[in-house]
Structure 1
Amino acid sequence: MGGFGKKKEAIKGFIAGELIDSITKQPVAYATIVLKKEGSDKEVNGVLSEDNGKFRLSDIPADKYDMYISFLGYDEKVIQVETTPAKPDLNVDPIFLKPANYVLDQVEITDQRALTEIKVDKLVFNAEQDASISGGDATEVLRKVPLLSVDYDGNVSLRGSQNLRILINGKPSGMFSSNVADALKMIPADEIKQVEVITTPSAKYDAEGAGGIINIITKKKTADGYSGSVSASVGNRQNNATASLNGAKGRFGVNANGSVFYSNPADAINTFKRVDTINSLQRVLEQNGTTNNTRLGFRGTAGMFYDFNAYNSLNTSFSTRGFSFNSDGTLDGSLTDPIFNNGYNFTRTSGGVNGRSGYDWSTDYKKTFEEKDREFTLAFQLSGDQNDADNNILQTYTNGIFPTRDELIYNDGDNLETTFQADYVHPFANAMKLEVGAKTVLRNIDSDYTYSIKNNGSYQIDQARSNAFNYNQNVVAGYASLTFLIKKFSVIAGVRYERTSIAGDFEEGQETVKPDPYQNILPNLIISRSLKNFQTLKLSYNQRIQRPSLIYINPFQNSVDSLNIQVGNPTLTPEIVHQVDLSYNTFIKGFGIFSSLYYKYTEDIIQQLLAINANGVGFNTFENVGINNSVGLNIFATKNVNAFTLRGGFNLGTFNYSSKLAEVAVTNPKGYEYNVNFGGTVNLPKDFKIDFFGFFRSPRFTIQGKQPNFSIYGLGIKKEFPKIKASLGIRVIEPFNEYKYFNSNQSGNGFNLESSFGIPFRSVGVSFDYRFGNLKFKERKTSIKNNDLLQGGDGQQQGGGATGGGN
């Protein structure tokens, strides 16, 4: 009689399975799986798929269910499942998800993902799907990526910070050790497949890149057989051509690609006015001129892989690049000085030949095991970058108050980096994973400065002003990161340790720079939670640092403009950044929404400061100026409506500066910055496609000044010819603005400066692309990711090179 009259307890079990991309046959991570009663909208349970595409729904009562699987960029899928009291546990067959809007044409499969994909740990922009970037460069691609902001010079920022680390195919490149804006112009847009934006990197990433990490993925492929492509673009501003060839047989494969680019000569218009006060009297410096600029460059890569067996493989790649930026300028200037003979007038002509070249060689050995997801990697990388800035200056004075200035200034910089890295991944039960690794980066940076002045008809080197500076920076690091689940929460917890030693030596006559080594322990925590109706909530905290690179420490003066001199500061210390981020993602009724609320606290901010001496000469240098508190909000959304895809978003962030330098007044103590972007894609009949975009960014503020706002819009049209595997496109940028002008100002103790910079902006280009081969491609990437230098911005040179121009 024991159980008589008692309600029988329901039998519960689990439903488990695996999600696979139907095109690439790769696992689909972080997709949303929601279980509903059959024929009902009532949700029973939900979960996200793991890194390996697997999922498990627990504590499921025996019944019939509809299981909804969705992820941005894939068609939603619904399957019917049933568990019974006799068989409460169910392992479903692999579930294949179809990318949205794919095309099947005989044996060719074209995967057309959504232009923007929102993933748990990053945002992905699929550049190859955008017709409006064809014929451009990487700068134009990044301008269209949500969350990023790119100014007129090509300097990239994320959430108001330019302290970013840019990777190529998941690895660093010496090309970014110098001027980042110029480096991005070396990468044709047609070579870029995707751009990944990582706002909260885990401990396995280098601690550098306080603002975040940008990973540019190129169309590097290998295949069983051979394939290739050629493309070219011509326009009134930019011209480029690219070619690639890929081949593989069994366990061995090779690939190579190359590109050349040329920017048509263009005139930039410069105006400059600085007013300062000395002994209660005003002194005014004015300069107005025009500079003609041209760019020419190339980039090439080659790589190969060999799989010894199912568990051991070797991957190696080599890339080389070259870039020249030539400028010739003329300006008229005047200095009104009530103390020094009421001032003087002058005319200056200048010519600059700025050359950059470099290479990256990386080799990885990977060992995998029978146990899934367990692997060990050894990696080596050697990167070299050379930056040569040669300038000649001829300056004459109309009233003869000074002799004619006829000078040659050479500042050449070499950057050599050697990296060794080891990583190990060990999986455990219940989706737990441990990642550990160690790394060392050895940097040697040389800056050679030669100053020559014309005397008696020939140039003679001024030994007193010529010198060389050798800078060594060695970083040793180790990390541990653990990924695990707590009920419906996914957690990544880690810590990274880095020790940095620095030494700088002058070749002649000056004091050695040797700060004490510093070490950092940098924690990281990410907690994500799947909610009802395809929603995800994520909370994260990380601490990162930003080391100064050579543009900030180069001790030699850039005196092309003798009244506005730039010089680095070898005694700078790194920035320290604490960031808390709360993000919310959802995909509902055709809308994909990404939103993030964040707080950043930055110590020892590095900014450029201006001071005027008694002779009216302005010295621009870098200092650890103080602290910034920032609160920000990012929102981005996409919507598909039949053949239309619309997207848009905005970023809003505050700043609150406090200076630790008593002699530096804070001109802009607090305020806000924002940017807005929008765009869309229209897929038309007969294989036509239209892409359009627009972007606006408010002025950016520093402790002393305001940098100009920026806006851009454009349109691209592409026609595909599937039978011959070719496409023809046209792109138009700013058709109603031949020139655009950018105004900035700077003020401090006793001075105020206003400047304007105008450049040609209207751009029209035509592009053609031809592909051959019909193969299944694979991706192979190195394991090295050096994310540890504050990169140059605002159009300035690193690597010891002085900026040329007509100022």
Structure 2
Amino acid sequence: MKQILLSKILFTSIISLTTLFFSAKAEPVSEASGITGRVVDQSGGETLPYATVAVYNSDSTLVDGGITDETGRFTFTLPPGNYYMEVQFVAYNKEVVSNIELSTRREQLDLGTIALSSSATDLDEVTVTGERSEMVIGVDRKVFNVGADLSNSGNSAAEILDNIPTVAVDADGNVSLRGSGGVRMLIDGKPSGLVNAGNAEALRALQGNMIERVEVITNPSARYEAEGMVGIINIVLKKDQRKGVNGSFEGTVGLPQRYSAGANVNFRREKVNYFINYGVRYSEREGSGFSDQTFPQANPPFSTRIDNERNRSGWSQNLRGGMDFFLTPTATLTAAALVRFDDEENLGSVRYSDFAQDSNEPFRISERVDLETEMERNMEYSLNFEQKFSDHEAHTLNAFVQYMEDSETEESDLTETVLLGADADEQLFQQVYNKEQEENWLFQADYVHPFGEEGRLEAGLRSELRNIRNPYEVEELENGNWTALPEYTNNFSYDENVFAGYLQGADKFGPVSVQAGLRAEYSDITTFLEQGAVKNQRDYLHFFPTLHTTYHFSTYNAWQISYSRRINRPHFWSLNPFYGFSDSRNIRTGNPNLEPEFTDAYESGWVYSTDNSSIYAGIYYRHTSDVIERISYVDDNGITYSVPRNLAERHAYGAETNLSFSPLKWWDLSTNFNFYRMQTEGVFEYNEQRMDLSADTYSWDTRINSRMRWDNDLSFQTTFFYRGKQETTQGKRLPFYMLNATFSKEVLKGNGTLSLNVRDVLNSRKFRYELNQPDLISVNEHRWSGQEIRLTFVYRLNQKNLGRNGGNGGGRDEGGPGGEEGF
């Protein structure tokens, strides 16, 4: 009750103080003249979000400009005068609105509905000018239109994410944002098996041809689930609702062996829109690495050199389809289904060379070979109902239900052979069976009720019911018989039920936009380890306030302040007491006793956007309690275990800038720079030893993207990424850099694109880190994959090249799907 009361007081106080402070300064809206309107599709009447709107005075000088919001609306505050306006959007003809006259200071002119006609069937007569923005900066998010990035041709979702500013994907496929883990991954704003937590291969299997854009939300509002310590990454899949048949087809060949094909097709009738996405991929990916380990506290002390090689190969297929039923002009029912199949064979080898202290010759060498077959099936079914009420276009009700089933089976045959030593030629045979089955139900409803000119109230409910079953068995061949190893055999189950509700309000007071919300989430989590009948059940209720404020100096110049409270619940693999047996000397395990992390995040930034550039400069601070950190330690048998533990707390400070501009008409540049400091406090005790895990580190990363376009429809793009050294709680992560290059040529009169992508031009994509503890000193280097060369061809049916039309080098986003319209 005390927590509820404090949350209510905080929520009420923030709204009251912010409103009083800004409304005292704000000039009433009615004191300034301006124009407003809405952009729609001429044939179907659908709204067109992210359309470019530019306002000029009578001598053709640009006065103002911006991007339409999610409902297709735009608003500009202008002094009295005569103007004209140009409206553009991807694959549509430009519309010019002339003779706009504002005669008085208080005049508010509603231009009504501006309909754009599709130009998809008239490609021969269209002159392509401008460039769709790769990055659109919003109040609570950054939107990356991945189709505009040439280097994304033929890439997987993991590779696309690794090419987005402030996002990084490591050698294990783990995603981090602004240097920190704990990112919540969503598909179309919802959880999905395509990016299931703990399954790095899922991101690699999701083909980029299915992806429309990626939204990075660093400080989400109350309408989003509170999961995700450093924010949310939302992958939006492609779907089109224009009438007729349209789509795109893509094929890729590459070295090392990589073959893929995909199609995105839409067919729109009067009352029904059909959409389907399909992708198939075969790839072979080789990786390697080493680890030099020293054990100074062993008796006697010794060191080990571990060399590993792996080759992952196999097929992956994704099929997604559905229908939009336009029940009435204001009601839409969408049914969709998704199926994903993976069939892989993975061969890995680990060689151990053991050295006595101060010796250069090994006294023992052994090799462990793991032949693994992996099959995964993911199926999802969803039903979404949207009702737009006739009194106001922002007055909406959205209800959603989704069922997901995921099954993954891994079977391994392991052989360990002693190559040198007293027990030379001895062999050990083991086999591992691991099956993970998951079922997930999601129910969600969101209601938006507008009031006044720009205010709105939002409310929603959400329930997610999830259960996972994971039988795991390790057997060893003894005297011709397979015998289970009890210490590595168990049947683990995980049940998670989360029930949530939120209330959120927003309004605009002159140049000031204010939005505040409060979200409540009740979690009921139970784990059960069949071996020993160990049950661990916990439930907790928490409240998560959020606040977003924006001061609009003009339509394209704004200052933002935001706050949110977040949670990171330990996921299945973090709680599972055992997993991973390929490397018998380095074992990763989970911890059923982990507690959730909580983060209070603060952010302030300045946004400036024009028709050909955008700038964001901001600072942020995060305070996290019960930090989950993976700790490595050595047992009495010389086996290294990596186990997640709750530490004390962490403070993270940072400054980030994003800049996108065009120094020349044919040259686009964008860059990102992120500098941060992290202070971590904590200790770890084991075997009567106490390990100090405190760390204070400064680090930075940057990404520079250059794209040149010439009149012969040839483009050249380079992307350079650098991540600096970072001190960790047990050692340090070493610097990392990479360069990608892409050549692209428009063919078939603009209907096709041929691109050559060279990934990791400098052959530098190596992940290196060091551990320095009393019982373990380790130097490590791993490669996810080596250099890659890919040739991709894309053919568009009744579509323009989305990467070469309909926008500009930058812009400001007023929201996104489920986003904050106008804030």
TM-score by length of 1: 0.85
Q: Give the deviation of 1:179 after TM superposition.
A: 3.9
Alpha-carbon distance in 1 for matches of 2:124, 2:355: 76
On the 8 A contact 2:739/2:762 being kept in 1, the answer is no
Q: Give the deviation of 1:30 after TM superposition.
A: 11
The residue type equivalent to 2:453 in the other structure is N
- Residue of structure 2 aligned with 1:754, choices 779, 786, 791: 779
The residue type equivalent to 1:732 in the other structure is V
Aligned pair in 2 of structure 1 residues 382, 92: CA closer, same or farther (>3 Å)? closer
Q: Give the deviation of 1:201 after TM superposition.
A: 0.8
Residue 477 of structure 2 corresponds to 454
Structure 1 residue 686 corresponds to structure 2 residue 712: yes
Residue 446 of structure 2 corresponds to 423
Tell me which moved more, 704-713 or 421-430: 704-713
Q: Give the deviation of 1:526 after TM superposition.
A: 0.2
- SS of corresponding position for 1:593: strand
- SS of corresponding position for 2:605: strand
- SS of corresponding position for 2:534: coil
Residue 408 of structure 2 corresponds to 387
Structure 1 residue 105 corresponds to structure 2 residue 123: yes
Aligned pair in 2 of structure 1 residues 760, 151: CA closer, same or farther (>3 Å)? closer
- SS of corresponding position for 2:769: strand
Aligned pair in 2 of structure 1 residues 180, 634: CA closer, same or farther (>3 Å)? farther
Alpha-carbon distance in 1 for matches of 2:32, 2:427: 90
Alpha-carbon distance in 2 for matches of 1:759, 1:418: 34
Tell me which moved more, 557-566 or 579-588: 557-566
Question: For each residue in 1:118-151, what CA deviation from the matched residue of structure 2 results, as whole angstroms up to 9, or x when unmatched?
Answer: 2223212111122222122222222322232233
Question: For each residue in 1:545-578, what CA deviation from the matched residue of structure 2 results, as whole angstroms up to 9, or x when unmatched?
Answer: 0111111011224333222222111111111011
Alpha-carbon distance in 1 for matches of 2:554, 2:346: 58
Aligned pair in 2 of structure 1 residues 534, 32: CA closer, same or farther (>3 Å)? farther
Aligned pair in 2 of structure 1 residues 22, 649: CA closer, same or farther (>3 Å)? farther
Structure 1 residue 93 corresponds to structure 2 residue 111: yes
Structure 1 residue 226 corresponds to structure 2 residue 245: yes
1:274-289 equivalences under 5 Å are 274-278=293-297, 281-289=300-308
Tell me which moved more, 470-479 or 699-708: 699-708
- Percent sequence identity is 24
1:112-127 equivalences under 5 Å are 112-127=131-146
Q: Give the deviation of 1:249 after TM superposition.
A: 1.8
Alpha-carbon distance in 2 for matches of 1:27, 1:217: 16
Aligned pair in 2 of structure 1 residues 484, 72: CA closer, same or farther (>3 Å)? farther
On the 8 A contact 2:504/2:518 being kept in 1, the answer is yes
- Residue of structure 2 aligned with 1:482, choices 505, 513, 529: 505
Alpha-carbon distance in 2 for matches of 1:600, 1:129: 32
Aligned pair in 2 of structure 1 residues 713, 153: CA closer, same or farther (>3 Å)? farther
Residue 240 of structure 1 corresponds to 260
Residue 638 of structure 2 corresponds to 616
Q: Give the deviation of 1:701 after TM superposition.
A: 4.1
- SS of corresponding position for 1:552: helix
- SS of corresponding position for 2:574: helix
Alpha-carbon distance in 1 for matches of 2:613, 2:66: 20
On the 8 A contact 1:47/1:56 being kept in 2, the answer is no
On the 8 A contact 1:432/1:483 being kept in 2, the answer is yes
Tell me which moved more, 726-735 or 27-36: 27-36
Q: Give the deviation of 1:35 after TM superposition.
A: 11
On the 8 A contact 2:464/2:499 being kept in 1, the answer is yes
- SS of corresponding position for 1:512: strand
Structure 1 residue 495 corresponds to structure 2 residue 518: yes
Tell me which moved more, 654-663 or 219-228: 219-228
- SS of corresponding position for 1:651: strand
Tell me which moved more, 521-530 or 481-490: 481-490
Alpha-carbon distance in 2 for matches of 1:359, 1:605: 34
- SS of corresponding position for 1:284: strand
The residue type equivalent to 1:570 in the other structure is P
Residue 658 of structure 1 corresponds to 681
- SS of corresponding position for 1:278: coil
Tell me which moved more, 581-590 or 712-721: 581-590
Residue 760 of structure 2 corresponds to 734
Residue 789 of structure 2 corresponds to 764
Structure 1 residue 406 corresponds to structure 2 residue 429: yes
- Residue of structure 1 aligned with 2:395, choices 370, 374, 385: 374
Structure 1 residue 643 corresponds to structure 2 residue 666: yes
Question: For each residue in 1:449-503, what CA deviation from the matched residue of structure 2 results, as whole angstroms up to 9, or x when unmatched?
Answer: 1111112334343467532111111101000111111221111110100010111
- Residue of structure 1 aligned with 2:495, choices 456, 462, 472: 472
Q: Give the deviation of 1:224 after TM superposition.
A: 2.8
- Residue of structure 2 aligned with 1:204, choices 200, 223, 236: 223
Q: Give the deviation of 1:608 after TM superposition.
A: 0.9
Aligned pair in 2 of structure 1 residues 144, 104: CA closer, same or farther (>3 Å)? farther
- SS of corresponding position for 1:272: strand
On the 8 A contact 1:700/1:707 being kept in 2, the answer is yes
Alpha-carbon distance in 1 for matches of 2:609, 2:448: 32
The residue type equivalent to 2:36 in the other structure is G
Number of residue-to-residue matches in the alignment: 759
Residue 250 of structure 1 corresponds to 270
Residue 698 of structure 1 corresponds to 724
Tell me which moved more, 582-591 or 406-415: 582-591
On the 8 A contact 1:681/1:690 being kept in 2, the answer is yes
Q: Give the deviation of 1:654 after TM superposition.
A: 0.7
The residue type equivalent to 2:597 in the other structure is E
The residue type equivalent to 2:269 in the other structure is K
Q: Give the deviation of 1:13 after TM superposition.
A: 6.7
- SS of corresponding position for 1:568: coil
Alpha-carbon distance in 1 for matches of 2:523, 2:641: 29
The runs of 5 or more residues in structure 2 that have no matched partner are: 1-29, 803-815
Aligned pair in 2 of structure 1 residues 411, 210: CA closer, same or farther (>3 Å)? same
Question: For each residue in 1:215-247, what CA deviation from the matched residue of structure 2 results, as whole angstroms up to 9, or x when unmatched?
Answer: 222322344332343221101033211123322
Residue 170 of structure 1 corresponds to 189
Alpha-carbon distance in 2 for matches of 1:27, 1:246: 17
Q: Give the deviation of 1:305 after TM superposition.
A: 1.9
Aligned pair in 2 of structure 1 residues 697, 95: CA closer, same or farther (>3 Å)? farther
Residue 234 of structure 2 corresponds to 215
The residue type equivalent to 1:766 in the other structure is L
1:134-153 equivalences under 5 Å are 134-153=153-172
Residue 525 of structure 1 corresponds to 547
Alpha-carbon distance in 1 for matches of 2:62, 2:715: 40
On the 8 A contact 2:750/2:801 being kept in 1, the answer is no
Higher helix share: 2
- Residue of structure 1 aligned with 2:566, choices 544, 550, 553: 544
On the 8 A contact 1:600/1:629 being kept in 2, the answer is yes
**RMSD over aligned Cα, in angstroms?**
3.8
The runs of 5 or more residues in structure 1 that have no matched partner are: 1-10, 786-807
Question: For each residue in 1:342-378, what CA deviation from the matched residue of structure 2 results, as whole angstroms up to 9, or x when unmatched?
Answer: 9744232222223332122111122222122212222
Aligned pair in 2 of structure 1 residues 12, 476: CA closer, same or farther (>3 Å)? closer
- SS of corresponding position for 1:175: helix
